[in-house]
């Protein structure tokens, strides 16, 4: 067990800060994020050119070091040594929350393994930002990030997720959106979907429709910008007890190995019955049969 008191303990080691950056509009940067980027010793950036533009905009002069998926393996130990020496680091991605679609998670695990505090700052997240304005149920939801690129892999992925009742959030390239939506329709059926483009930017756009309507509207168009797909979860049909004897259902579960009380509890819960009344009815019928 590990307990981290982020701000109440004096340590000889530095802290690793996970700092979100704007997903489009630079005015979404928080005061705290700017302060942390100015105060740390080094900023670990996914792309130093992209982050450099952000730092210039806010007059932040903290030095950067490159940290991305292609150099993470050899860079992590170097960064851990800096933290152990007392230096504090901030990790940022090109946009949004770090440690999701970049190697930040590996750095977090390495830091925690050495008992280095990891502090996350709240801020921009494209998936949640789009979800709450989508019109599709925000709770419960599942965020998946980028989808598999190959059609066969996508088909398998959607087949495994098609019965999920949760709203699903995906990132997708504008070049693959139409093909992905077509595959989704084939597996999920004609559900409600929202395509979100250029979130927080001047050309921000929400297209809310059924999958078939959206596909028809997009055919022949050139889709541009960063895209999110938010699709409604599967509709879970409520079970009806009208044509079934609940006591028979209890007996079926007992035959499958359930204990009587557990079987009664399960049937009552699944069909919205009063558990105590079902318990009494079940045992009264058993007495009649003896």
Angle between helical axes of 260-271 and 275-289 (0-180°, round to 10): 130
Q: Is residue 89 a contact partner of residue 83, using CB atoms and an 8 Å limit?
A: yes
Q: Does 140 sit behind a cis peptide bond, omega within 30 degrees of 0 on the bond before it?
A: yes
279/267 Cα distance (integer angstroms): 10
CB atoms within 10 A of CB 283: 13
Both structure tokens of 24: 């489009």
CA contacts within 13 A on the Cβ side of 39? 11
What does the pLDDT average to over 117-135? 94
Residue 120 reports pLDDT greater than 90:
yes
Predicted pLDDT of residue 55: 97
Gyration radius of the chain over CA positions: 26
Distance in angstroms between the alpha carbons of the first and the last residue of the chain: 54
Both structure tokens of 272: 């919205």
Residue 278 reports pLDDT greater than 70:
yes
Q: Tens of pLDDT along 70-98?
A: 898 899 999 999 999 999 999 999 999 99
Q: Is residue 160 a contact partner of residue 186, using CB atoms and an 8 Å limit?
A: no
179/158 Cα distance (integer angstroms): 13
Angle between helical axes of 246-255 and 260-271 (0-180°, round to 10): 130
Predicted pLDDT of residue 252: 84
Name which residue leads in pLDDT, 282 or 22: 22
Task: Tell me the pTM.
Answer: 0.76
Task: Go through the domains of the chain in sequence order and give each one's CATH number.
Answer: 16-120 (3.40.1010.10), 126-231 (3.30.950.10), 246-289 (no CATH)
26/73 Cα distance (integer angstroms): 31
Counting residues of the chain whose pLDDT is more than 90, the rounded percentage is 69
Closest CA to 63 of 43, 46, 80: 43
Q: Is residue 279 a contact partner of residue 241, using CB atoms and an 8 Å limit?
A: no
Average pLDDT, rounded, for the chain? 91
Predicted pLDDT of residue 243: 65
Residue 184 reports pLDDT greater than 70:
yes
Query: What are residue 29's phi and psi, to 5 degrees?
Result: -65, 135
């Amino acid at each position: 067990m590990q307990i981290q008191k982020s701000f109440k303990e004096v340590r000889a080691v530095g802290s690793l800060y996970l700092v979100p950056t704007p997903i489009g509009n630079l005015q979404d940067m928080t005061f705290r994020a700017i302060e942390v980027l100015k105060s740390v010793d080094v900023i670990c950036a996914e792309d130093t050119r992209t982050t450099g533009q952000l730092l210039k905009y806010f007059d932040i002069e903290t030095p950067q070091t490159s940290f991305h998926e292609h150099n993470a393996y050899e860079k992590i130990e170097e960064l851990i040594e800096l933290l152990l020496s007392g230096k504090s680091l901030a990790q940022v991605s090109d946009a949004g929350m770090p440690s999701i679609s970049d190697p930040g998670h590996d750095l977090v695990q390495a830091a925690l393994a050495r008992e280095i505090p990891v502090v996350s700052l709240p801020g921009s997240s494209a998936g949640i930002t789009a979800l709450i304005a989508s019109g599709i149920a925000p709770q419960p939801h599942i965020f998946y990030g980028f989808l598999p690129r190959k059609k066969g892999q996508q088909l398998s992925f959607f087949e495994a997720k098609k019965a999920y009742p949760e709203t699903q959030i995906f990132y997708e390239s504008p070049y693959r959106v139409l093909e992905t939506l077509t595959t989704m329709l084939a597996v999920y059926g004609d559900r409600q979907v929202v395509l979100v483009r250029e979130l927080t930017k001047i050309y921000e756009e929400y297209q809310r429709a059924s999958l078939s309507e959206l596909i028809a509207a997009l055919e022949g168009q050139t889709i541009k910008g960063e895209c999110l797909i938010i699709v409604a979860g599967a509709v879970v049909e409520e079970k009806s007890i009208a044509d079934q004897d609940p006591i028979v259902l209890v007996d079926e579960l007992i035959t499958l190995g359930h204990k009587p009380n557990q079987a009664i509890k399960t049937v009552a819960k699944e069909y919205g019955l009063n558990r105590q009344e079902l318990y009494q009815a079940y045992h009264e019928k058993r007495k009649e049969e003896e």
